[in-house]
Amino acid sequence: MRLSVIGCGYVGLVTGACLAEAGHEVMCTDVDAGRIAKLKAGEVPIYEHHLDKILASAGKNGKISYTADGGEAIRFGEAIFICVGTPPRNDGSADLSAIDYVAQQIAAEARSPKLVVEKSTVPARTGIELQRALTAYSRGGNAFRVASNPEFLREGTAVEDFFHPDRIVVGVEDPAAGEQLREIYRPILERKFSCPVHNGKCPDTHKAEFLVTTISSAELIKHASNSFLALKISYANVLADLCEQIGANVEEVTHAIGLDPRIGTQFLKAGLGFGGFCFPKDIQAFISLAATVGVDFEILKAAERVNKQRIERFLGKINKALWVVKGKRVAVLGLAFKANTDDIRFAPALEVIRRLAEEGAEIHATDPEALEKAKKQFPQVHFHEDPYKALESAHAALVCTEWDVYKKLDWDRAAKVMARKLVIDGRNLYSPEKMKQLGFEYVSFGRE
């Protein structure tokens, strides 16, 4: 099928590339002409595992193309995936102006009936407004059907998540739209694609469920899903605080409770809390949506509050350990909001750096992928590609991201170059016993 993708950010590029790899013909567009020029030249503007590979193969097979002309892209596809940004406004609600702009463009440029699919994360009822806007702007000329098809892709494993989803949710108002989306996802549902992640040896996981719901339910499912995961993390973080006071070990507690399948072991990792461009903004947008219809989502407000306090707790641990922060040299290990991405949006590490810089610390930071992005924001920070260089003469090492390279760091080697053998671990990466054996003062979350 011929498909259009509007917006070439994380969601748009992964969606476009994977649907092209699954056999469809895809045309992508973006208001950022520079980004389109890069894509045409074979450059991949974001770091996402396997994405370069599938963009290259889809390009070679003529399955994916790019245009800076939004009209051309809109006319190309039978279905149009809207993948534009919905950033938070000051009050926490989602800014839907990009969606509105695209609706006007689709209405003006389409020359045939279109299935318009919201893929961007949007608050419930956006689909209804989108349908209204398309009808109003098109002046009755063209038939548009609207659907919601939320994505559940994690940054870093987005390509794998796309090809091996737990569920594909489509919110529609008429069965034909549901059938068209089922056709689009048929290669994924029937596993008829050559998997770029597992090279033909995909694990025998259960097949994805194709769920057809109303548009409002589909929109709600996305926010409800992310908010629940955020809630789980905050719960684990409060448990960690409690464990510290009581003298228990949060890893033992969360592991044991997680073995109950009703709870599950994932997303119970205590530490610096959640960041990124999804959880913090989605939880706010969900609270804000609930408030507009008179529902007080108190439980999510608490989860958000707990998450903000994580930075204070981390800084408290740093202050307690260092006594005086001013003039101390600190090594920050990890800038990205989580491992396997170069994304630093709402990354806890950035707030930690900002606060320590205010207190007069000398900051040496390192990250396997996010250095370039962070450099632009912090001219006063010293950046190093080599973690051992960042650790040189440091009075403390602060672990902010759960990268594998830090899990495997040679602390014996680090000890030789550090000014003081102190590690303050915001991601609970190491065993307190082992760090003690290595002669380190070691501070983490919920395991004191």
Could you list the residues that contact ligand UGA (CB under 6 A)? 121, 151-155, 226, 229, 233, 267-269, 271, 273-276, 278-279, 337-338
Say which amino acid occupies 43: E
Smallest separation (angstroms) from ligand UGA to the CB of 175: 26
3-state secondary structure of 374: helix
Smallest separation (angstroms) from ligand UGA to the CB of 292: 21
User: How many C-beta atoms lie closer than 10 Å to residue 151's C-beta?
Assistant: 22
Q: Which is nearer to ligand UGA, 272 or 391 (CB)?
A: 272
User: Among 18, 83, 243, 278, which one carries the catalytic annotation?
Assistant: 278
Q: Which is nearer to ligand UGA, 285 or 396 (CB)?
A: 285
Cα(366)–Cα(77) distance, integer angstroms? 43
C-beta contacts of 37-43 below 8 A and 24+ residues apart: 37/68, 39/8, 39/66, 40/66
Q: Which is nearer to ligand UGA, 126 or 226 (CB)?
A: 226
Distances (CA, A) of 124 to 91, 100, 102, 127: 17, 15, 18, 7
User: How many C-beta atoms lie closer than 10 Å to residue 177's C-beta?
Assistant: 22
User: How many C-beta atoms lie closer than 10 Å to residue 224's C-beta?
Assistant: 14
Q: Which is nearer to ligand UGA, 224 or 291 (CB)?
A: 224
Smallest separation (angstroms) from ligand UGA to the CB of 226: 5
Cα(82)–Cα(95) distance, integer angstroms? 15
Q: Which is nearer to ligand UGA, 152 or 185 (CB)?
A: 152
As given in the structure block, the two tokens for residue 223 are: 């926010």
Q: Which is nearer to ligand UGA, 152 or 210 (CB)?
A: 152
User: How many C-beta atoms lie closer than 10 Å to residue 39's C-beta?
Assistant: 23
Smallest separation (angstroms) from ligand UGA to the CB of 401: 7
Phi, psi of 118 (to 5 degrees): -80, 120
Instruction: Answer yes or no: are the C-beta atoms of 1 and 185 closer than 8 Å.
Output: no
Q: Which is nearer to ligand UGA, 277 or 442 (CB)?
A: 277
Instruction: Answer yes or no: are the C-beta atoms of 140 and 228 closer than 8 Å.
Output: no
Instruction: Answer yes or no: are the C-beta atoms of 13 and 55 closer than 8 Å.
Output: yes
Measure CA of the first residue to CA of the last residue in the chain; give whole Å: 57
Cα(374)–Cα(50) distance, integer angstroms? 23
Cα(102)–Cα(110) distance, integer angstroms? 11
Smallest separation (angstroms) from ligand UGA to the CB of 276: 4
Smallest separation (angstroms) from ligand UGA to the CB of 151: 5
Cα(53)–Cα(239) distance, integer angstroms? 42
Residue 278 catalytic?
A: yes
Smallest separation (angstroms) from ligand UGA to the CB of 399: 12
Phi, psi of 228 (to 5 degrees): -65, -40
3-state secondary structure of 64: strand
Say which amino acid occupies 354: R
Smallest separation (angstroms) from ligand UGA to the CB of 22: 19
Cα(247)–Cα(163) distance, integer angstroms? 44
Cα(13)–Cα(83) distance, integer angstroms? 9
Q: Which is nearer to ligand UGA, 77 or 276 (CB)?
A: 276
- Name the residues annotated as catalytic: 278
